[in-house]
Amino acid sequence: MKKLLASLMALGLALSMAACSTTSSDASEPASSGSSAASGESAAAADPDKVWLIATDTVFVPFEYTDENGDFVGIDVDILAAIAEDQGFKYELNSIGWDGAVAAVQTGQADAIIAGASITDERKESGWIFSDGYYNATQTIAVAEDSTITSFEDLRGTSVAVKNGTAGADYAESLKDEYGFTITYFDDSPTMYQDVIIGNSSACFEDTPVMISYIKQKGIALKVPEGLESEGAPYGLAIMNEDNQAFLDMFNAGLANIQANGTYDAIIEKYLG
């Protein structure tokens, strides 16, 4: 884990899931040579002892977070565990933050990312390969509990907070010229929320169910105004190295099975019910 973070920092990559093609093609080489001792995609698929390295976010409630007992839990965590059991594969889940998880897959240090990653055309065009969608989410804003902001027009002349390289950041960027606000970038969700609570930022842009769940779970002084949601997109697990297609196939097969047998619904009910 430390080694992974150190090498990611040493690489100093531009950290964006919508990476330019230079980054993704640069990144695909170490990915194919370093992902497994076995060579070739069929060897990786056939090796039942392969431990798939999956990277995830740190705090993206209720998809991944550390609960009051200190356990790392969430919808992504449980879905992955259920699919692995269904398909009989081994994996290691590393919680390294959104940017870190994206970079880990780009550099071949991780085989896949599961972190409530929105499936977008832009990401697909930049080399990401997604599983089937497993949860639909829009993006919107959250403002301080006592804020009078109810529209994008109310953001004019203010500064908003986003998390680096996310769909929420894309949404803010798509609106900033029209509504005349500036953007401050954060590495993780709690720090971004805090900036709004203390009044440095007028609002933050993130996934609607995530902000609603976090506010409910932690009782923080934020609220989500109505009617400002993006179009939204489903979440998918994502890979970049085509050699890991076998893993994606197992994930999709397992996802269909847990959706058919009620496990998926039970997981959603557990965290969002």
Closer to ligand GLN at the Cβ: 83 or 137?
Answer: 137
Within residues 104-143, the interface with ligand GLN by CB under 6 A covers: 115-118
Closer to ligand GLN at the Cβ: 107 or 139?
Answer: 139
Q: How many residues bind ligand GLN (CB under 6 A)?
A: 11
Distances (CA, A) of 193 to 25, 61, 127, 202, 243: 34, 13, 30, 10, 38
Q: Which of 19, 23, 52, 60 binds ligand GLN (CB under 6 A)?
A: 60
Angstrom distance (rounded) from CA 210 to CA 59: 10
Closer to ligand GLN at the Cβ: 60 or 134?
Answer: 60
Per-residue binder mask for ligand GLN (CB under 6 A), 86-105, x = binder = ------------x-------
Rg (Cα) of the chain, in Å, rounded? Answer: 19
First to last CA, the chain: 33
Closer to ligand GLN at the Cβ: 98 or 193?
Answer: 98
CB of residue 63 vs ligand GLN: minimum separation in angstroms? Answer: 7
Closer to ligand GLN at the Cβ: 50 or 163?
Answer: 163
Cβ pair 199, 144 in contact under 8 A: yes
Instruction: Decide: is 195 part of the binding site for ligand GLN (CB under 6 A).
Output: no
Angstrom distance (rounded) from CA 169 to CA 160: 10
CB of residue 217 vs ligand GLN: minimum separation in angstroms? Answer: 16
Per-residue binder mask for ligand GLN (CB under 6 A), 156-185, x = binder = -------x--xx------------------
Torsion of Cα atoms, 89 then 135 then 57 then 124, to 10°: 90
Closer to ligand GLN at the Cβ: 86 or 168?
Answer: 168
Q: Which residue has the tokens 């959250």?
A: 142
Largest separation between any pair of C-alpha atoms in the chain: 58
Query: Three-state secondary structure along 157-187?
Result: CCEEEEECCCHHHHHHHHHHHHHCCEEEEEC
Instruction: Decide: is 57 part of the binding site for ligand GLN (CB under 6 A).
Output: yes
Closer to ligand GLN at the Cβ: 115 or 246?
Answer: 115
Q: Which residue has the tokens 């965590």?
A: 77
Angstrom distance (rounded) from CA 214 to CA 212: 6
CB of residue 118 vs ligand GLN: minimum separation in angstroms? Answer: 4
Binding site for ligand GLN (CB under 6 A): 57, 60, 98, 115-118, 163, 166-167, 207
